[in-house]
Structure 1
Amino acid sequence: MKYVLFLLLCLPTLLPAQTAQSAKKYEATWEQTRYWDQINNADGRFQLLSPQEFEHQVDSLETELGQQAFHTYFFKTPDPRKAENVIYVLSYVDYPAGSLHHDSTELVQEFLTTTEEEAIRSVGGTLVYASEKTISNYPGRQWRIDYNNDGATARTLAVVAGNRYYELKVFSLKSSGPNKAANKFFDSFRLFDPPE
């Protein structure tokens, strides 16, 4: 009984110390401190949430299908140690009519799987997971690759809408593990009607 009384008397003094220590351990990530703006891009025909404004770059790529304009929207977080993800990217490219279309189910699946395999080879990484995903009724695929001796992670969401290929990526330090910011970025992605 004395022991219980002692605990009841001491408990209020122990709780504030415990709470203060717990509060010190939790530090909000960069993404958690930011207001996520909704971006509506009419030219790119997409909508998503982002914790920072994107830079936009257009590169001309010579491919087997001819010259193509590759649009890239990206930003790098200011302090990788405080962020869940280091780099956020959205890119898209329009393929010539008849070469790729979301209605060509087998062709799209093969294209997305080949893209995933090429991504693994390009970073010398290991595939952690991959699965099919539908975005705004268009076929897609998502995957995660660990690379750099398991010191970094690349998460990708790839979608084909009309003859346009979209790719969202986040790059993070492995120590961040699964993160809510990547999920929020990917889950917010919506497409307008594809270009004809």
Structure 2
Amino acid sequence: MLQRTILFFLLLCCTSLAAQMPMQASAPDQSWEKQQRWEERNDLDGRFRLLAPGQLNHSIDTIETAIGAQAYHTFHLRVPDKDRAENILYVLSYVDYPAGSLHHDSTELVQEFLVNTQEEAAEAVGGEVIYGTEKLVGAAYPGRLWRIDYNGGRASARTLACVASTRYYELKVFSLSAAGLGTAADRFFDSLRLWVPSS
């Protein structure tokens, strides 16, 4: 579905960046993210609040699918200093599913959907799922956290996905393996706050 298309596009962008960039590790304490004043995005239409190490750009793509036209919202930040960054791309995207097709109260259905999404993402880029685990987002929303290594192990994508009401959210960070481990991805993921409209 469209998640694969968006993921494939983003991963291709990161793969081409990885091929052009020198592969050098930077100390996490000196990373680009540590030098930034993280900005809060409080989006009423998106029903989320999130911290990012810079301004997130917003785009909307309307795609015809088997269940009709769907509007995919994407917020992204491509870091300007790739040689010093822990991650080269930060992304939040969401899409609303029709009523009756997916809801966070249907826990088993949601987890099956998230596992399938994880596997489709790995297949789309020829990557390997390094880990995948269930993760509750907020107090009530079933989610899943996973990591896919791709491009011969030289790059990776970490994803936190969840369903709140009938809306599917996906947070992603893309990084080069040579950058080493850092804390910026965890800070990005852990800052997510969601709310659903009153019934």
TM category (shorter chain) comes to 0.7 to 0.9
> CA offset at residue 184 of structure 1?
0.3
8 A contact 1:162–1:195 mirrored in 2 = no
> CA offset at residue 62 of structure 1?
1.3
1:195–1:170 distance in 2 versus 1, CA, 3 Å: farther
Count of paired positions = 172
| Aligned match of 1:58 | 60
| Aligned match of 1:90 | 92
8 A contact 1:164–1:194 mirrored in 2 = no
2:153 aligned to which of 150, 173, 179: 150
1:109 aligned to which of 91, 108, 111: 111
AA matched with 2:125: V
Q: Where do 5+ consecutive residues of structure 2 fail to align?
A: 1-26
Secondary structure in 2 aligned to 1:82? coil
- Over aligned residue pairs, what C-alpha RMSD do you find? 1.5
CA distance in structure 1 between the aligned counterparts of 2:28 and 2:158, rounded to whole angstroms: 25
CA distance in structure 2 between the aligned counterparts of 1:121 and 1:61, rounded to whole angstroms: 21
1:26–1:109 distance in 2 versus 1, CA, 3 Å: closer
CA distance in structure 1 between the aligned counterparts of 2:198 and 2:35, rounded to whole angstroms: 36
After TM superposition, the score normalised by the length of structure 2 is: 0.83
> CA offset at residue 123 of structure 1?
1.1
After TM superposition, the score normalised by the length of structure 1 is: 0.84
2:41 aligned to which of 39, 42, 45: 39
1:191 aligned to which of 183, 190, 194: 194
CA distance in structure 2 between the aligned counterparts of 1:65 and 1:114, rounded to whole angstroms: 18
Greater Rg by CA? 1
Summarize deviations over 1:21-62 as a string: whole Å, max 9, x none: xxxx78611100000122111100001111111110000111
Secondary structure in 1 aligned to 2:83? helix
Q: Where do 5+ consecutive residues of structure 1 fail to align?
A: 1-24
CA distance in structure 2 between the aligned counterparts of 1:26 and 1:72, rounded to whole angstroms: 27
Secondary structure in 2 aligned to 1:115? helix
Percentage of pairs with the same residue: 57
